[in-house]
């Protein structure tokens, strides 16, 4: 046997090993990235192309047995088969890996909307919603919305801010603090529940009662002078009927160019909800009232608890 014949075996083995090794590398890399089947598809395509050439070469070489072409063709066919076997195994593992990762919530969402919604749900469901404080007082708010309120107050300079739903008073204190900084405005905050620990502030007046009770509405109206700029935030009972009643009542108080902010329109959009809420109330209100329009520019931080809830009074 000549030197060239002795080399045929190792060369064929090397080709087989290279084919198998590259297929295994594809598999490992794809698994690391979540096992995307697309990469294996490409690999199979490339291997198929090489395999087809090898098959033709092998057939051609078959006519002159023991020729170099025959060895080479045979080696590539074997490496193609090995690559396909390993690739197929990887495909299965990759899919399984992706499935597990998705189930565990580790896989990234695909579009910008998905990213925002996924983060929104995660944020909403976390305990942080009830552990957000302004100067030590609990405020049931997303800080990104509070920043928007600050911008609106600075631009609109309302003389009176009516808030429905006080709870601990953190949001009322936040609004009063911004009024203090811009040296204008005061807060009238309504809640059906009494709460002795609410913060005292010279710019806050608390009103005790239901926001839709006509006597409470009159008390609030009585605290606003003719010609004052008024802004309203609705954050009490989130039932659709209640919010719609509030919208009809307090929408009239809001002055042109100012805002009627309907909070927690994210209930059901995208966070889970069992019944219609603030978003559905807004939809109904906008069908019957042309004085307001949704100001989407106030949703610029992407995450807002008030999607479609920043209503600007146009006339």
Binding-site ranges for ligand SAM (CB under 6 A): 139-141, 164-168, 170-171, 190-193, 210-211, 235-237
CB of 247 to ligand SAM, least distance (A): 13
CB of 173 to ligand SAM, least distance (A): 9
CB of 237 to ligand SAM, least distance (A): 4
Which of 158, 163, 156 shows the shortest CA–CA distance to 139?
Answer: 163
Q: What are phi and psi of 105, to 5 degrees?
A: 75, 20
Helices (H), the chain: 3-32, 37-62, 68-103, 112-125, 143-156, 170-182, 214-222, 240-250, 278-288
* Complex with ligand SAM: residue 43 or 173, whichever CB lies closer: 173
Q: What are phi and psi of 205, to 5 degrees?
A: -120, 125
* Complex with ligand SAM: residue 8 or 141, whichever CB lies closer: 141
CB of 169 to ligand SAM, least distance (A): 7
- CA 311, CA 262: separation in Å to the nearest integer? 8
* Complex with ligand SAM: residue 193 or 290, whichever CB lies closer: 193
- What letter would DSSP give residue 215? H
- What letter would DSSP give residue 267? B
CB of 45 to ligand SAM, least distance (A): 57
Cβ contacts of residue 299 below 8 Å, gap of 6+?
Answer: 306, 307, 310
Cβ contacts of residue 169 below 8 Å, gap of 6+?
Answer: 137, 189, 195, 197, 198, 199, 204, 206
Cβ contacts of residue 300 below 8 Å, gap of 6+?
Answer: 148
Mode of pairing for the β-strands spanning 186-191 and 160-164:
parallel
* Complex with ligand SAM: residue 79 or 166, whichever CB lies closer: 166
* Complex with ligand SAM: residue 70 or 165, whichever CB lies closer: 165
* Complex with ligand SAM: residue 76 or 216, whichever CB lies closer: 216
CB of 212 to ligand SAM, least distance (A): 6
* Complex with ligand SAM: residue 211 or 308, whichever CB lies closer: 211
CA distances from 177 to 48, 166, 167, 171, 180 (A): 70, 15, 17, 10, 5
CB of 257 to ligand SAM, least distance (A): 24
């Amino acid at each position: 046997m000549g030197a060239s014949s002795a080399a045929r075996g190792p060369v064929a083995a090397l080709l087989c090993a290279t084919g198998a090794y590259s297929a295994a590398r594809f598999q490992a890399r794809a698994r690391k990235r979540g096992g995307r089947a697309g990469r294996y598809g490409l690999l199979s395509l490339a291997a198929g192309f090489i395999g087809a050439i090898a098959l033709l070469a092998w057939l051609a070489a078959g006519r002159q047995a023991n020729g170099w072409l025959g060895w080479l063709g045979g080696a590539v066919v074997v490496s193609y088969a090995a690559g396909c076997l390993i690739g197929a195994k990887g495909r299965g593992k990759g899919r399984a890996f992706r499935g597990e990762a998705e189930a565990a919530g580790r896989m990234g969402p695909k579009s910008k909307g998905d990213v925002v919604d996924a983060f929104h749900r995660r944020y909403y469901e976390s305990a942080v919603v009830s552990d957000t404080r302004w100067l030590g007082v609990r405020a049931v708010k997303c800080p990104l919305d509070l920043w928007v309120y600050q911008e609106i107050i600075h631009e609109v300079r309302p003389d009176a801010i009516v808030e429905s739903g006080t709870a601990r008073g953190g949001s009322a204190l936040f609004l009063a603090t911004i009024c203090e900084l811009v040296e204008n405005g005061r807060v009238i905050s309504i809640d059906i529940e009494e709460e002795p620990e609410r913060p005292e502030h010279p710019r806050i007046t608390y009103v005790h009662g239901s926001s839709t009770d006509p006597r409470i509405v009159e008390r609030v109206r009585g605290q606003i002078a003719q010609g004052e700029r008024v802004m309203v935030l609705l954050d009490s009972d989130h039932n659709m009927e209640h919010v719609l009643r509030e919208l009809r009542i307090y929408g009239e108080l809001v002055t042109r160019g100012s805002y009627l902010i309907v909070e927690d329109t994210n209930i059901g959009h995208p966070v889970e909800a069992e019944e219609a809420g603030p978003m559905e109330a807004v939809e109904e209100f906008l069908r019957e009232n042309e004085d307001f329009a949704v100001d989407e520019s106030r949703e610029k931080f992407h995450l807002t608890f008030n999607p479609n809830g920043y209503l600007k009074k146009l006339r």
